[in-house]
Amino acid sequence: MRPEYARMVEEELRSPQDVQPDADIHLDVEGQVTLATLTRLVESWKDFLGEIGRGVTGNPAKDAVRYVITKASGGSFALRVRPQPARENVPAAMMPRIARTVTSGIEELNQAAKRPSHFSDDALAKLRDLARLVGPETPTLRVSNGRGRPVVLSSTMLAHVESVLSPEVRTIGTIEGELEGLIIHGRKRFLLYDRLTGRQVICYFGNAVSWEELRDVFGKRMAVTGEIRSRRSGERASIDVSSYYVFPPEHELPSAQDVRGLIRNAE
């Protein structure tokens, strides 16, 4: 047994107090599962669930949520895991929401090429890896949460995932959001979070933009202008930033009463 799987089983035995059966997530694979396929399957499943857990809880830490094996069986392979909070600031009440998000998101992707809530690019890439394991030996992969009917990782879903992930259109424009996640190693970039859409846009920048200045406005609302790359679905994926503007804090903006006064004075 690989070390990470052994740790998952060990955590289950240590944590009987965190029992939430309605949070269980089931993965069922029909057919003959080889050891090589099982390794790729479990790795992709683990990474996919990790991304969804971070999205649902809003906690970016990789160990924010752990997934404990509650049942595993051979033949046609079946695996059931249960999410548990791994940090004090992660509410246990959110664990069933993770299970519902997984199944509802896959069902949405079976219907349309539109990103489901909390499905980041990394989550979609891992889901794509899972769907690509469907073949002659393993013709069907199903996911369920124990409450509704299972959802299938279909070829249609795979095509929709590819469509959501593939940038298609380049335009010049401006994107607004809150500055998050500054990275200066490799190709310099930061993340802009739009509260209205709940999406992050990757913002690449070069020497025309100072990372020290960006560091000083971390968490503030800003507008960035440059070449935008959008997905076929219309979702904006990234932007090459040529300039930016930082909005003043809300308490420095004029109030409605101030604006009315300015109008009266102008009249």
pLDDT at 6 > cutoff 50:
no
Q: Report pLDDT for 205.
A: 93
Res 107 pLDDT > 80 = yes
Q: What pLDDT does residue 251 have? A: 67
**Quick one: which of 222, 194, 195 has its CA closest to 209?**
222
Lowest pLDDT segment from 18-22, 147-151, 250-254: 18-22
Confidence band for 5, pLDDT divided at 50, 70 and 90: very low
- Mean pLDDT for 37-56 is 93
> Is residue 242 a contact partner of residue 225, using CB atoms and an 8 Å limit?
yes
* Calpha distance 240→238 (Å, rounded): 7
Domains and CATH numbers, the chain: 3-165 (no CATH), 167-252 (2.40.50.140)
Strands 199-204 and 236-246: parallel
Question: Letter for the amino acid at 197?
Answer: T
Q: Is the torsion defined by CA of 215, 216, 219, 223 positive or negative? A: negative
**pLDDT at 236 (0 to 100):** 83
Cα(69)–Cα(66) distance, rounded to whole angstroms? 10
Q: What is the mean pLDDT of residues 136-163?
A: 91
Answer whether residue 226 shows pLDDT above 90: yes
Q: What is the mean pLDDT of residues 148-177?
A: 90
Q: What percent of the chain has pLDDT over 70?
A: 84
Q: How confident is the model at residue 11 (pLDDT cuts 50, 70, 90)?
A: very low
Distance CA 26, CA 146 (A): 7
Section 65-72 average pLDDT = 94
Q: Provide the H-helix boundaries in the chain.
A: 3-14, 35-57, 95-111, 121-131, 155-165, 211-216, 256-266
C-alpha 62/C-alpha 250 separation (Å) is: 32
Residue 1: per-residue pLDDT: 41
pLDDT band, very low/low/confident/very high, at 3 (cuts 50, 70, 90): very low
7-38 burial: b if 16+ Cβ within 10 Å, else e: ebeebbeeeeebeeeebbbbbbbbbebeeebb
Q: Which one has a higher pLDDT value, 106 or 147?
A: 106
What confidence score (pLDDT) does residue 109 get?
A: 97
Computed over every residue of the chain, the mean pLDDT equals 84
Averaged over 243-254, what is the pLDDT? Answer: 80
Torsion, Cα 254 259 264 267, to 10 degrees, reads: 110
Indicate if the pLDDT at residue 163 is higher than 90: no
Task: Report how far residue 142's alpha carbon sits from residue 83's, in angstroms, rounded to the nearest whole number.
Answer: 18
